[in-house]
Chain A
Amino acid sequence: DTAVSQTPKYLVTQMGNDKSIKCEQNLGHDTMYWYKQDSKKFLKIMFSYNNKELIINETVPNRFSPKSPDKAHLNLHINSLELGDSAVYFCASSQAGSPLHFGNGTRLTVT
């Protein structure tokens, strides 16, 4: 039983393309997140949704658009991909005040 699952695991695409990453959690958590781990291995928060409402929106280019159709799903759509978008993207979920549970990441490579 995978608690937080994200697809795809690997994504290789060319500059300028549009791509999506999907995330689902079966923990019943109210809050979901997207984190980016760049080449320096720094885990940086991008977005957070609580009960389908956007509550955290860090300084992220507006080419990145999260969408939460329900509280168990949080997808990330990226328009006009750039080389600098290459990173590992982690989805996570939590209940208020409790630890984050992470998915296994999506390694995005933009060529």
Chain B
Amino acid sequence: DQQVKQNSPSLSVQEGRISILNCDYTNSMFDYFLWYKKYPAEGPTFLISISSIKDKNEDGRFTVFLNKSAKHLSLHIVPSQPGDSAVYFCAASDRTYKYIFGTGTRLKVLA
């Protein structure tokens, strides 16, 4: 039973354009959501998070949107850069110690 889903395994975007990565969850107890970026042979690196009391959080080129009624969150990267090419994982927590991860989306930014 996968509680956090990323239905797009891969995404290609032209440099300078917007990248939109999507994530769906099923557990209504989740109230803290995170995005991680992972390069090959490295561990996931924290990118941005959002609490369920908000519907948007922005940090530079990265914005996370949360739609609680749809149990959906998305990560927008604007403008996309070749260095953004990586695997992106979303994760969710119910404020216990458990963080549940999606299966990842591989983003390729084309120069």
Instruction: Give the interface of A toward B (CB within 8 A).
Output: 4, 31, 33, 35, 40-45, 48, 50, 55-56, 90, 92, 94, 96-97, 99-105
Which size class do B's interface residues fall under?
Answer: 20 to 34
Decide yes or no: A4 and B43 within 8 Å by CB, A41-B87, A99-B34 being known contacts. yes
> In the complex, which residues of chain A have a beta carbon less than 8 angstroms from the beta carbon of B44?
43, 90, 100, 102
> In the complex, which residues of chain A have a beta carbon less than 8 angstroms from the beta carbon of B87?
41
The residue on B at minimum CB distance from A99 is: B46
Q: Mark B65-94, 1 if CB is under 8 A from A, else 0.
A: 000000000000000000000010101000
Task: Give complex CA distance A105, B45 in Å.
Answer: 12
Instruction: Tell me what chain A mostly uses at the interface: helix, strand, loop, or mixed.
Output: strand
Decide yes or no: A40 and B103 within 8 Å by CB, A90-B44, A99-B34, A100-B46 being known contacts. yes
> In the complex, which residues of chain A have a beta carbon less than 8 angstroms from the beta carbon of B46?
99-101
**Closest Cβ–Cβ distance, residue A31 to chain B (whole Å):** 6
> In the complex, which residues of chain A have a beta carbon less than 8 angstroms from the beta carbon of B45?
102
Q: Report whether A97 and B95 are in contact in the complex, using a CB–CB cutoff of 8 Å.
A: yes
Question: Which of chain B's residues 24-70 have a Cβ closer than 8 Å to chain A?
Answer: 32, 34, 36, 41-46, 49
Task: Give complex CA distance A90, B43 in Å.
Answer: 7
- Known: A96-B97, A104-B43, A105-B42; 13 extra A-B contacts, CB below 8 A, are A40-B103, A42-B103, A48-B97, A48-B98, A50-B97, A55-B97, A56-B98, A97-B95, A100-B44, A100-B46, A100-B91, A100-B99, A102-B44
